[in-house]
Chains A and B, each alone.
Chain A
Amino acid sequence: MKSHNSIFILIIISLLFIASCTEDVPQYVSYPVYSWTNTDATGGNWKPILLSSNEQIAIPDPTDVSSAEYKTELAALKATTAAVTASQKASVEYWSNNPIIRWNEISRQLSAKYNLAPAPNADGSYPAPSSATPDKYPLFPFAHPPYSCRAFAYLATAQFDALIACWHYKYKFNRPEPGVTDASIAQLFPKSNLPSYPSDGAVIAAVSRDILSAMFPLEKDFLAKKADECINAFLWSGANVQSDIDAGKTLGAEVAKVFLARAKTDGMGAAQTPKAISDSLKTLAQNTFGWSWSNLETPPRPVGITPYFGKVKTWAVTNIVDVRPPAPPKPGSAEFNAAADELKQRLDNITEDQRKIANFWSDGLGTYTPPGHWNRFACNELIQYKLNPLRSARTLAYLNMAEMDAGIACWDAKYYYHYPRPIQTIPGFKTILGTPNFPSYTSGHSTFSAAAADVLSHFFPSENGLFNAYAREAAESRSYGGIHYRFDIEAGLDTGKKVAVYVVNLAKADGGE
């Protein structure tokens, strides 16, 4: 017994040890504060997306660095930076000198948080979220792929225009960084020689806060807190004096208004149609093509996700019908049967690698959606290539205009062709991913991914191979998951590439190449 007891004591001690070591799972991407490859001193002349000019939003002229007023500000900043605590320093590192990356991450987080479909009522009907009463269940918004790609697009384009104006004023007024005027002020960010008026950090914080607050109204307080943190990081780091910050906040907030005015009238308000319109699209497809999609959930959802998203205003594509794919094969045709057989074969013999691909790219409910996934990849590149905030915003603006236009093009095809999903056409067919609540043709993943890969390849040509491989894998993943036919995937990839051409052409003409 004695020896047993010592064995047990040993085992119990190791048990307690196992219990005490919980692994820390990271809640944000960590990256070092980096020196920008350059500051894009002429970036203020690039062509904005919506602003009519880089001076459409006026800000006051800054005081001269030799003025008493500025000296007072500088003294205040010196006191602030001298008293920076460890946690404030951590905040400076978190936000970094390129908070575009953090705000993109925050937007992805909100997309994932709000990407939940309404639960059915007890009687089998479904409630719908309402922007008028966002806090009443189901919470507004339901951040499905159309909603999320649009939120990302407004965030990125507004940030871009705001930073173009910001860069213009920076070099117009040429107020040096506080550390240049007073070398005793500690600078936590690497030296960039970027003029400090207005504060780019404050511009980004204000424009991001206001766009995201409109997109995710229940997060207004959270976003205000984040914006304050972001702005404080630019004070604590010694990058800006208070008047730099104040002008940046004004500029960011005013630019947000311009973009939110467009958002109000872009057609999204009508995208989630009433059942009568949704039914009429189905009838039209049935009469035109001889097929139509049905939602097969229990209880069935009466309306698919945003039947009129295909009518929402695009950024680059001039006429959505120009990128609409040809009709898919008729169920029962030879091409259809081949596609159905491929699916059955795949699902019956799925390997662990294939399952992994399906899950890695699933980007379904409770996630940041495929456009969110591509934003994450893009942010990795911004870090790898050490881009400054303006050039980062430019990259994300074109990426996300492409994603939203890809979404609009895909949804146009989805509800125009109203094609049934594999679980509807193949008897007894079961899937490893949930079948989404919208028609099959074309694949959203494929469209989003091809568009993103081509736009990102334009900005990071040496990563072209990686992006194309990602796009192909993301597209195939839907087949492994059992929710898309081969022709959904190929047509989606094709449409995505076409959309990318429009967007890249805009980028080529904005002066920032």
Chain B
Amino acid sequence: MALTLGIVNMIPAITKAQTPSDAIMMEGKRICVAGLYGSDKWDRYWEGTLLRTNGNVTPFTRNTYGLMLAGGITTKLNILVSVPYVHTSSSGGYFKDAKGLQDFGAWLKAEVLKSHLGSGDFTTHAVVGFTTPMSNYLSDYAPFSLGLGAPEAQGRLILQYLLDMGIYARVTGAFLARGTTKIERDYYYADTGYYSDKVDVPNATDFTGTLGCWFFDRKLKVESTYENFNTVKGHDIRRQDAGFPSNKMEASSIGLHAQYFPAGGFGVLANYSQVFAGRNVGKSSGFLVGVTYQFGISKS
């Protein structure tokens, strides 16, 4: 019965205009909390490079419930933390669903450069962070595993040019250094046999390119993003085999994102993304919606 990992790279995002991959900073001594709900689905996945169906594990759904918190240590240094709860299931086949707390994430984000250039601002941000499993979920239960079960350290560089009129372009590049995940058997066959319960989860790169625009006095942001996620090594799922944490994983996706900030510190956001090319991942599409609230923690 073949299984495969679902789409992986999912820091579901976001508090008030704050993600580990955007160019926005919070002012010092302000906090933003966000409640998020996301759902993505797939009916087909790539077994290696072969796009296939598998009625034993599809239609596949992953629901994510997230709490995020962003805080301005200073205007130029922010901290973000994220706590996602994930539920995976298939309405076809006979595999039990999986649910639980996934990976805790924390990031530090700094504005390292800001200069007025022409009729806009050029900014450079650097982000470092890590994620680590919060529960003892099983990473060897593809595609239902809540995550890859390995700690991950991330470094990302964000370059943005924002025209005074509100249009902006942004590119980011990240390196994700991942450790090993512990599974519940002490021999496994990946590209060869391994006598261990440790599985090496391959490191990965992630690049994004975004075009967006602010409207209504910078209360509404609309943007579209192309993203490419790629592990630097790993092996293909063999024909009719199950997915595994040491797989080579690639996913190219496009996304639309909108965020609106009416008065009073509140905001809402919505996100849609679609994987259009991949390797050893689900051809998933999904949305994410959230509510954000921002407040100060001391009078300035």
Contact = CB atoms under 8 A, between A and B. Distances in A.
Interface in A335-369: 347, 352, 355-356, 359-360, 362, 365-368
Interface stretch (A24-32, A247-255, A452-460): A24-32
Contact of B128 (A15, A27, A109, A138): A15
A12 B155 contact: yes
Contacts of B112: 1, 4-5, 8
B241 A434 contact: no
Nearest to B73: A4
B97 A4 contact: no
Contacts of B1: 117, 297, 365, 434-435
B245 to A, nearest CB: 12
Contacts of A347: 96
B110 A12 contact: no
B77 interface: yes
A18 B56 contact: no
A12 B180 contact: no
B197 to A, nearest CB: 9
A19 B95 contact: no
Contacts of B193: 27-28, 108-109, 112-113
Contact of A430 (B96, B180, B186, B242): B96
Interface string B188-202: 110011111011100
A513 to B, nearest CB: 32
A380 to B, nearest CB: 11
A28 B195 CA distance: 6
A325 interface: no
A137 B94 contact: no
B239 A119 contact: yes
Chain B interface bracket (under 10, 10 to 19, 20 to 34, 35 or more) = 35 or more
B194 A26 contact: yes
Contacts of A296: 94
A23 B200 contact: yes
B76 A432 contact: no
B183 A116 contact: no
A435 B153 contact: no
Contacts of A492: none
Contacts of A11: 108, 128, 155
A27 B195 contact: yes
B55 A366 contact: no
Contacts of A429: 94
A26 B194 CA distance: 6
Contact of B93 (A23, A298, A368): A298
Interface string A79-95: 00000000000000000
A477 to B, nearest CB: 11
Interface residues of A, number: 53
A136 B68 CA distance: 52
B195 A22 contact: no
B49 interface: no
Contacts of A26: 194-196
A1 B77 CA distance: 9
B169 to A, nearest CB: 24
A355 B112 CA distance: 47
A430 B239 contact: no
B177 interface: yes
B198 A25 contact: yes
Interface in B33-60: 52, 54-56
B95 A434 contact: yes
A496 interface: no
Interface stretch (B21-29, B133-141, B248-256, B288-296): B133-141
Interface in A47-68: none
B97 A430 contact: yes
A299 interface: yes
Nearest to A30: B195
Interface in B130-157: 136, 138, 140-141, 153-155
Nearest to A359: B184
B215 interface: no
A378 to B, nearest CB: 14
Contacts of B154: 15
A118 interface: yes
A178 interface: no
A245 B64 CA distance: 64
B126 interface: yes
Contacts of B153: 14-15, 18-19
Contacts of A108: 193
A367 B189 contact: yes
A137 to B, nearest CB: 7
A366 B189 contact: yes
> Which of A12, A368, A434 has the most chain B CB atoms inside 10 A of its CB?
A434
B238 interface: yes
A324 B193 CA distance: 36
B250 to A, nearest CB: 19
Contacts of B52: 119
A321 B95 CA distance: 35
A297 B188 contact: no
A116 B239 contact: yes
A14 B155 CA distance: 10
Contact of A27 (B76, B95, B140, B194): B194
Contacts of A16: 177
A423 interface: yes
Nearest to B136: A352
Contacts of B199: 25
> Which of A8, A109, A113 has the most chain B CB atoms inside 10 A of its CB?
A8
23 contacts: A1-B112, A5-B112, A8-B128, A15-B155, A23-B179, A28-B193, A108-B193, A109-B192, A113-B193, A116-B239, A118-B240, A296-B94, A297-B1, A297-B56, A298-B92, A299-B55, A347-B96, A352-B136, A355-B138, A365-B242, A376-B187, A431-B94, A431-B96
Given A8-B110, A11-B128, A296-B94, 19 more contacts: A4-B110, A4-B112, A15-B154, A15-B177, A19-B203, A23-B198, A25-B199, A26-B196, A27-B192, A119-B2, A355-B184, A360-B186, A362-B185, A366-B188, A366-B242, A430-B96, A430-B97, A432-B95, A434-B56
Counting from the closest, the 8 A-B pairs by CB-CB distance are A298-B55, A359-B184, A19-B177, A434-B1, A119-B240, A112-B189, A430-B96, A11-B128
